[in-house]
Structure 1
Amino acid sequence: MRWQEPRNEEVRAVVDMVRTFGKEVVEPTYATHEDEGKFPDAVVEEMGKLGLFGLTIPEEYGGSGMGTVAASYVARELAYFWPSLHLIWTANSSLAAYPIQLAGTEEQKESILPALARGEALGCYALTEPNAGSDAQSMQTTAELNEGGWWILRGTKTFITNARRASVAIIFAHTRKGVSAFVLYTKNPGLDYPHVTVRHMHKRVLKSCDFCEIYFDGATLPQEALLGEEGQGFSIAMKTLDGGRINIAAQAIGMATRIFDEALAYTRTREQFGKLLWENQKIQFDFAEAYANIAAAWALIMEASAARDRGEDITRLASAAKLVATETAWRFGTKLATYFGGSIVVEDLPHLARMMDIFPTLIYEGANNIQHMVIAKRLND
């Protein structure tokens, strides 16, 4: 069915393009790649040619210069077809590109953003550590400035999307003035850089996007790798996550609408007790409730997206959108999936995988109990 559509003609054209791309290219590749965890190299290359990686990067750096509203619609559509592909896209376009747009020098912007916009370079966002997930400020990775003017990085990052293919990494580490942000840019994918090791982590969900640990064992970065001022890293990280949380909210809704559409179609063809499942009023009411809640969650995402495009402080609103959308997606995704009956556990059908792909949205970009804390702290703002 048709869900909420963009009113802006330019955004609508992008959404239509993504849908066509999804049906003709993404859907067939999902069928051959996701179950085996294959990275979609050809699809990623095509996304670069279509300009999707540069959607929100300013035009002067090779992007389209569109806003968060457009990004949320694209996130929803990509996740509808292939959630793993959405993560590859958002880790590059949102988590890697945005900190450079926010705090980078003109030289950093000119040298890195065009490559990210074209998809010639993939980016990753190295914040989480084995013992510093929700409590990001307790990270143990350090960056020490030596007498020669080089930053020496030591520490471990974990659960990092795209790292095995990335040549750009936004890295957060403790320095003498607090948490600072750095950008590592190498021409060699996989963060192939002296004293940097990337280890692939196998997942049971979202299999086609890389999940990695990164080890920094005395890696040396030039002084100009510092992103923003020393000690500004935590602020850069949190502002980046504000946008990231909206995007994950949109991803969750995209996944939920896919299950909704397929389950609805199934109930209208499946017969039991001499009539279609859909003729059971309880089933109709379940779908009506799901639609109302999914539509309400999307309205909150749109409010947060528009507020960010206006330059407003959106921390509370972004957390609310992420909390409501992901909880709604998981609640109704799991509920409606039961209408597939026994076929949900059949290996050659994707229903169970699509349902389980929703679960991590409750955790990444800040677990939902953290979103409760963020919202509560800002109720007087």
Structure 2
Amino acid sequence: MFTRAGYAPFASAVTRLPSLLASVGPARRTLSSPSINALFNPTDEHLAMRATLRTFVEREVEPQAAHYNKTETFNRDLFRKLGTVDQDHGLGVLGLTVPEEYGGLGLDATAVALTHEELSYSDPAFCLAYLAHALLLANNLAVNGSEAQKSRWLPDICAGTVVGGMCMSEPNAGTDVLGMKTNATAIEGGGGWKLNGTKMWITNGTLDGRTTGDIFLVYARTGPAKTDLTQFVVEKNMPGFSLGQKIVDKLGMRASMTAELVFEDVILSHDHVVGEVNEATLCMMRNLEIERIGLAAMALGIARRSIDEMKRYALERQAFGARNLFEFGQIQRLIAESYAEYMAGRCYVYGVANSLDLNKAGNGLDADGTKLYCAKMSKEVADRAIQVMGGYGYVGEYKVERLWRDAKLLEIGGGTNESHHKNMARDLRKRGIAPLD
């Protein structure tokens, strides 16, 4: 975990992270400095955590990113290092928000934001696989599962011995999630549930291209009302659970495995029901808020890397007798606007994350807002980086074309831009004519 010898320079500060947020709420946090950096690292523990992650990303994530994106394969060995299986170098962040008693770190939404920003700086696709596991699966189960369920499944999820995600979207139900057709019917005599249906676009749905991932939270219809949804835990090798197809040749996020999963008369006992029957809609909405903060933070990582790449190129490239490209007004505009928009998005994301309560719903307006703004911003910043670098920006060696392709997914996955428009307009309408704070 963060105290492992491989990251000893930061160990003394980071060892306090698991216990810090168990007792310290947002109102009691002290800023590490009066600068704007205090917004992004509100405590010394957050600052140390960022430094640890940045070192890990530089040493472990950056060298492998191009290969796994090119081959459209998942680096499971590296993923394990995010957990606690690797006792020498394991970071422990697979259970980032999971309470310590179940193998997690028990950290807050700010830790979620900075973790996704740092991982995405080098490999957004790898970070997407992490998000599906740590937020859509682990955090969801930690918040909504019973004590028995958390004790049974979370330790392995946090360790990284199993890798999974969440199953919500279907071939004909994406943004219209309440239109899902996957259903679970109660077996007569109290014998559990029978699950049938197909889920589509599932991150970590396969890890090897041949079989399913290890464990999933599956949303299914269990009653006549539109919101009568229930969550079920489904594990690999259960009879009737199979891989429909691995989704290949994606525009971006190619090192994150995406799949269609099929459920044919999968028999589930009552202890596989997470939360109350027909009450999963609230669980879904609450978990989507922290997912969108994570996705917005991924956009920050993409934008920051794009700015770094275009700055470096502009400083090194000479043209028309000028010392470097920074002397040209057109280039100045592209770089300056990119930085300003990145910083605006960063302030928005961390401003929301610093006050977000992971155990409560009701932050949808700004969770939607951060992702809406940052997704578009990151794609535009990556596009500007390509423009600054010209032909070099168009080829894989210089990374920014991959960042541009990866950024596009953030305008679709985890909520389309259009769904965020609808959600935000609805929430603002409910507030009526009262002035904004």
The TM-score by the shorter chain falls in which range?
Answer: over 0.9
1:195 matched to 2:240: yes
1:105 matched to 2:154: no
Given that 1:196 and 1:216 are in contact with CA atoms closer than 8 Å, whether structure 2 keeps it comes out as yes
Query: Which position in structure 2 is the counterpart of 1:267?
Result: 314
Work out which of the residue numbers 108, 112, 121 in structure 1 matches 2:162. 121
When normalised by structure 1's length, the TM-score is 0.94
**Counterpart amino acid of residue 305 in structure 1:** A
Given that 2:229 and 2:281 are in contact with CA atoms closer than 8 Å, whether structure 1 keeps it comes out as yes
Given that 1:143 and 1:173 are in contact with CA atoms closer than 8 Å, whether structure 2 keeps it comes out as yes
* Moved >6 Å (runs of 4+): none
Given that 2:132 and 2:204 are in contact with CA atoms closer than 8 Å, whether structure 1 keeps it comes out as yes
Query: Which position in structure 1 is the counterpart of 2:8?
Result: none
How far 1:139 moved relative to its partner? Answer: 0.3
Work out which of the residue numbers 156, 171, 178 in structure 1 matches 2:198. 156
SS in 2 for 1:260: helix
Query: Which position in structure 1 is the counterpart of 2:366?
Result: 317
How far 1:185 moved relative to its partner? Answer: 4.7
SS in 2 for 1:214: strand
When normalised by structure 2's length, the TM-score is 0.83
How far 1:347 moved relative to its partner? Answer: 4.3
CA distance in 2, matches of 1:107, 1:326: 38
Query: Which position in structure 1 is the counterpart of 2:348?
Result: 300
**Counterpart amino acid of residue 13 in structure 1:** A
**Counterpart amino acid of residue 310 in structure 2:** A
Query: Which position in structure 1 is the counterpart of 2:70?
Result: 35
1:350 matched to 2:404: no
Work out which of the residue numbers 227, 230, 245 in structure 1 matches 2:277. 230
**Percent identity among equivalent residues?**
29
How far 1:163 moved relative to its partner? Answer: 1.5
CA distance in 2, matches of 1:132, 1:185: 20
SS in 2 for 1:183: strand
Given that 2:217 and 2:231 are in contact with CA atoms closer than 8 Å, whether structure 1 keeps it comes out as yes
How far 1:349 moved relative to its partner? Answer: 3.8
SS in 2 for 1:64: coil
SS in 2 for 1:86: helix
Per-residue CA deviation, residues 281-333 of structure 1 (Å, 9 max, x unaligned), is: 33223222211111111111112212213857211110011111111111222
CA distance in 2, matches of 1:94, 1:271: 45
SS in 1 for 2:166: strand
Work out which of the residue numbers 332, 343, 349 in structure 1 matches 2:381. 332
CA distance in 2, matches of 1:332, 1:146: 53
**Counterpart amino acid of residue 276 in structure 2:** E
CA distance in 2, matches of 1:248, 1:140: 26
Instruction: Name which of structure 1's ranges 359-368 and 193-202 shifts more when overlaid on structure 2.
Output: 193-202
Given that 1:143 and 1:154 are in contact with CA atoms closer than 8 Å, whether structure 2 keeps it comes out as yes
Query: Which position in structure 2 is the counterpart of 1:289?
Result: 337
Counterpart mapping for 1:235-274 below 5 A: 235-274=282-321
CA distance in 1, matches of 2:237, 2:247: 17
CA distance in 1, matches of 2:80, 2:390: 38
1:207 matched to 2:254: yes
CA distance in 2, matches of 1:263, 1:45: 32
CA distance in 2, matches of 1:300, 1:168: 33
How many residue pairs are counted as aligned between the two chains? 375
**Counterpart amino acid of residue 335 in structure 1:** R
CA distance in 2, matches of 1:105, 1:150: 17
CA distance in 2, matches of 1:185, 1:111: 13
CA distance in 2, matches of 1:89, 1:317: 23
**Counterpart amino acid of residue 339 in structure 2:** Y
SS in 2 for 1:271: coil
CA distance in 2, matches of 1:125, 1:135: 16
CA distance in 2, matches of 1:31, 1:85: 11
SS in 2 for 1:357: helix
SS in 1 for 2:200: strand
**Counterpart amino acid of residue 201 in structure 2:** F
CA distance in 2, matches of 1:35, 1:44: 18
CA distance in 1, matches of 2:79, 2:400: 24
SS in 2 for 1:163: coil
CA distance in 1, matches of 2:361, 2:298: 22
Aligned-residue RMSD, C-alpha: 1.6
CA distance in 1, matches of 2:425, 2:173: 22
